[in-house]
Amino acid sequence: MRIASELIDEIVAHAREDAPNECCGLVAGKDGAATRVFRARNEMASPLAYNVHPQDLLRITNEIERAGEELAAIYHSHTKSAAEPSQTDINLAANWPDPVYLICSIAEANAPVVRGWHLSDDAVAEVELSITA
36 versus 78: smaller Cβ distance to Zn ion? 78
Phi and psi torsions of 2, nearest 5°: -90, 135
Contact 107, 82 (CB under 8 A): yes
Q: What is the DSSP letter of 106?
A: -
Distance, in Å, from the CA atom of 121 to the CA atom of 111, rounded to the nearest integer, reads 31
For Zn ion, how many residues bind (rule: CB under 5 A)? Answer: 2
- Shortest CB 37 distance to Zn ion, Å: 17
The smaller minimum CB distance to Zn ion, of residues 35 and 42, is found at 42
Nearest to 85 by CA among 100, 99, 103: 103
| Contacting range for Zn ion; rule: CB under 5 A; set: 34-42, 85-93, 113-121, 125-133 | 85-93
Q: Interacting stretch for Zn ion, rule CB under 5 A, among 25-33, 37-45, 58-66, 83-91?
A: 83-91
* 38 vs 75 by CB, closer to Zn ion: 75
What is the phi/psi pair of residue 62, to 5°? -65, -45
Per-residue contact track with Zn ion, 29 to 68, x per CB under 5 A? ----------------------------------------
Q: Let me know how long the chain is.
A: 133
24, 32, 76, 104 from 17: Cα distances, Å? 11, 28, 13, 13
Binding residue (CB under 5 A) for Zn ion from 42, 89, 105, 114: 89
Applying CB under 5 A, does 10 fall inside the site for Zn ion?
Answer: no
Q: Using CB under 5 A, list all residues that contact Zn ion.
A: 86, 89
